[in-house]
Structure 1
Amino acid sequence: MATAAMATMGATAAAAAEAAGAEPTPDTGNTAWMIMATILVLLMSIPGIALFYGGLVRQKNMLSVIMQTLFIVGVVSILWVAFGYSWAFGTGFSESGNPLWAVMGGFDKAFMAGVGTSATMASGIPELVFAMFQCMFALITPALILGAFAERIRFSGYAVFIVLWVILAYFPMAHWVWGGGFLQQMGAIDFAGGTVVHINAGISALVMALMIGPRDDYRRGHAILPHNITFVFMGTSFLWIGWFGFNAGSGLAADGLAANALLVTHVAAAVAAVTWMAADWAVNHKPTTVGACTGAVAGLVAITPAAGSVSLGGAIAIGVITPLVCFMMVAVVKPYFKYDDALDAFGVHGIGGIVGSLLTGVFATRAVTGEAGAEGALYGDWHQLWVQVVATLVSIVFSAVVTYVLYKIVDSLVGIRADKRMEEEGLDIYEHGESCYN
């Protein structure tokens, strides 16, 4: 069941109809659910990411985070309907026999050509709804990266980098994993974005943090405190709620698979929040709100690729393992190597995505995927774990190389790092002429 749903992610109405031998029947229940899931995923970016990251930065940089998030929502939406959806989910190259099909869908659906109100997916939802649902994934992925270089990037450099990154990193990866590309053909399991979203964004975040350098006042062992932990909690709440659309909507139907995704998403987040809280308590002698929120997000990240293939037991295991690994990255590895991943975009999203992608190959079970579906190493199928390792490594290398090249190009053209005076006074005033709290 899960395998069929994941295959549907990359199918268009015409392809589904041809495979089934009949036109898909419109399903109002599935359509209503997918419209709601689309709204929930948008909630993750605005206001979720904006509040979560905005609360973690200092007061003088709150509006810069909000502006960066709003910019992404606006410009990536335009890019998506112009050619991004066609690049990721088009079938032009497949139908013409173009070998580029392995890495690009084509441009047959540019500006939503042929995607009218009557085009219906195999699950009975309009293709327009599917396109908008996937648009929300394209929005939140680059928004995750900004947590690594917060408080020290020029808005002009940021804008150019994000536009190029979405085109050259996100669109291809979405096709490879969900649109019929080589990773999907290889059998990689990524139900809702472990590789496409979290590893892709997390590795880019690490590269950006290393290349842009630490904030001027960043010192090992001296934390730069968040200015509004209430905002962090509110952002986490929006993310947690929105993640139900993110994961439970990725089966494209209101059915048992969506119910399982809903269950394992919530349980993994709950277990991870408590696990991080316990680790915080044991190491730092106090359970913190920021720690609990970070743990919940780590659990949500890790369950994302696995939500369509693991059962309750797998979700609990992922909810325990992932925050412990992420906690080590944030509390031990980052200070040791002295890189300034300002809001732990790599430590939580990158590492959480890697752990989740690999553990999918361990805990996937046919009790969820169906008799013909994938099964993990825990149940005897070591091949699936190997596939997950390959997909994870491909994602890491691709994202790192693209980000490195784009940073060099953009920095040489417009400049990326804010100057010292801008950083001292705050990006809100210098970049946007506004103050968050007047």
Structure 2
Amino acid sequence: MAAYKATGPAVPEWLNKGDNAWQMISATFVGLQSVPGLVILYGSIVKKKWAVNSAFMALYAFAAVVLCWVSWAYKMSFGDELLPFWGRAGPALGQKFLLKEAALPNSTHYYQNGTLEAPMMAPLYPMATMVWFQCVFAAITLILLAGSVLGRMSFKAWMLFVPLWLTFSYTIGAFSLWGGGFLFHWGVMDYSGGYVIHLLRGLLVSPLLTG
């Protein structure tokens, strides 16, 4: 571990170069699945007349999620608690916020008798890395959802749908399970995003397909 500890007067003691590098590599791989991965896939699996529209639905979803994520959605998913299932909205911007050590507020988990089971998680990389890592998962969730509405939804409707679904659906699931919400404290384990990404997307897709 010592070999990966950053050194220097301008480098914080908590920063681990290996942890930070792997987190960013992982985020990059997920991002590449979305752009160009799913952009190309969606443009190629539909009828020719829908190809450009379908590709741009995926591209727009990624770009829109990035803007919404840093503007308000990150803190609704991983910020201070507003409700047991929702965080308090706010921008995830600014040097002071992004360069401090990453943490998941309200993530401390206690046994029923009040003794500590799991302390607040404090990864050894900055908040900027955490924000981007979680952002690409939020983005690919919307893009996966887009696959069920290709040829069924106009681009204008999709432009409105993306920020609304991110705000009123994804952030609730993310905070409840990952950000220290009530499901986290109930001990629910979300392996590979099974609830937040796959189940949450499927709950909305089913009525769209049967409607």
- Take 1:148 and 1:210, find their aligned partners in 2: how far apart are those partners? 11
- Take 2:198 and 2:189, find their aligned partners in 1: how far apart are those partners? 14
- Take 2:30 and 2:174, find their aligned partners in 1: how far apart are those partners? 16
Match of 2:99 among 111, 114, 117: 117
- Take 1:193 and 1:176, find their aligned partners in 2: how far apart are those partners? 12
Q: 1:167 to 1:52 in 2, by over 3 A?
A: same
Q: What TM-score do you get using the length of structure 1 for normalisation?
A: 0.39
Matching residue's letter, 1:103 = F
Which stretch shifts more, 28-37 or 44-53?
44-53
Matching residue's letter, 1:48 = G
Whether contact under 8 Å (2:176, 2:182) holds in the other structure is yes
TM-aligned CA deviation for residue 24 of structure 1? 7.1
Match of 2:186 in 1: 186
Match of 2:67 in 1: 78
Tell me the SS of whatever aligns to 1:66: helix
Q: 1:103 to 1:143 in 2, by over 3 A?
A: same
Q: Is residue 2:152 matched to residue 1:152?
A: yes
Whether contact under 8 Å (1:54, 1:63) holds in the other structure is yes
TM-aligned CA deviation for residue 53 of structure 1? 2.7
The structure with the largest helix share of the pair is 1
Match of 1:52 among 41, 64, 72: 41
Tell me the SS of whatever aligns to 2:65: helix
Whether contact under 8 Å (1:26, 1:120) holds in the other structure is no
- Take 1:135 and 1:120, find their aligned partners in 2: how far apart are those partners? 14
- Take 1:65 and 1:161, find their aligned partners in 2: how far apart are those partners? 15
Match of 1:205 in 2: 205
The structure with the largest strand share of the pair is 2
Matching residue's letter, 2:76 = W
Q: What TM-score do you get using the length of structure 2 for normalisation?
A: 0.79
Match of 2:25 in 1: 36
TM-aligned CA deviation for residue 191 of structure 1? 3.2
Q: 1:175 to 1:24 in 2, by over 3 A?
A: farther
Tell me the SS of whatever aligns to 1:148: coil
Q: Is residue 2:172 matched to residue 1:172?
A: yes
- Take 1:120 and 1:183, find their aligned partners in 2: how far apart are those partners? 21
- Render the CA deviation track for 1:304-353: whole Å, top value 9, x for unaligned: xxxxxxxxxxxxxxxxxxxxxxxxxxxxxxxxxxxxxxxxxxxxxxxxxx
Q: 1:103 to 1:120 in 2, by over 3 A?
A: closer
Total equivalences in the alignment: 181
Q: Is residue 2:57 matched to residue 1:68?
A: yes
Tell me the SS of whatever aligns to 1:192: helix
Q: 1:144 to 1:128 in 2, by over 3 A?
A: same
- Render the CA deviation track for 1:207-226: whole Å, top value 9, x for unaligned: 11222xxxxxxxxxxxxxxx
Whether contact under 8 Å (2:64, 2:163) holds in the other structure is yes
Match of 2:110 in 1: none
TM-aligned CA deviation for residue 111 of structure 1? 3.7
Aligned ranges 1:258-269 → 2 under 5 Å: none
- Take 2:83 and 2:166, find their aligned partners in 1: how far apart are those partners? 19
Match of 2:15 in 1: 26
- Render the CA deviation track for 1:191-242: whole Å, top value 9, x for unaligned: 331111111112211211222xxxxxxxxxxxxxxxxxxxxxxxxxxxxxxx
Whether contact under 8 Å (2:101, 2:123) holds in the other structure is no
- Take 1:160 and 1:31, find their aligned partners in 2: how far apart are those partners? 34
In structure 1, runs of 5+ residues without a counterpart are 1-22, 94-99, 212-438
- Take 2:86 and 2:35, find their aligned partners in 1: how far apart are those partners? 29
- Take 2:25 and 2:134, find their aligned partners in 1: how far apart are those partners? 13
Whether contact under 8 Å (1:144, 1:202) holds in the other structure is no
- Take 1:36 and 1:111, find their aligned partners in 2: how far apart are those partners? 21
Once superposed, what is the RMSD of the aligned Cα atoms? 1.8
Matching residue's letter, 1:33 = W
In structure 2, runs of 5+ residues without a counterpart are 1-11, 104-121
Matching residue's letter, 2:172 = P
Aligned ranges 1:362-373 → 2 under 5 Å: none
- Take 1:159 and 1:120, find their aligned partners in 2: how far apart are those partners? 31
Matching residue's letter, 1:139 = A
Whether contact under 8 Å (1:25, 1:120) holds in the other structure is no
Match of 1:230 in 2: none
- Take 1:42 and 1:181, find their aligned partners in 2: how far apart are those partners? 26
Match of 1:104 in 2: 86
- Render the CA deviation track for 1:146-196: whole Å, top value 9, x for unaligned: 222211321111211222111100111110110001111111111331111
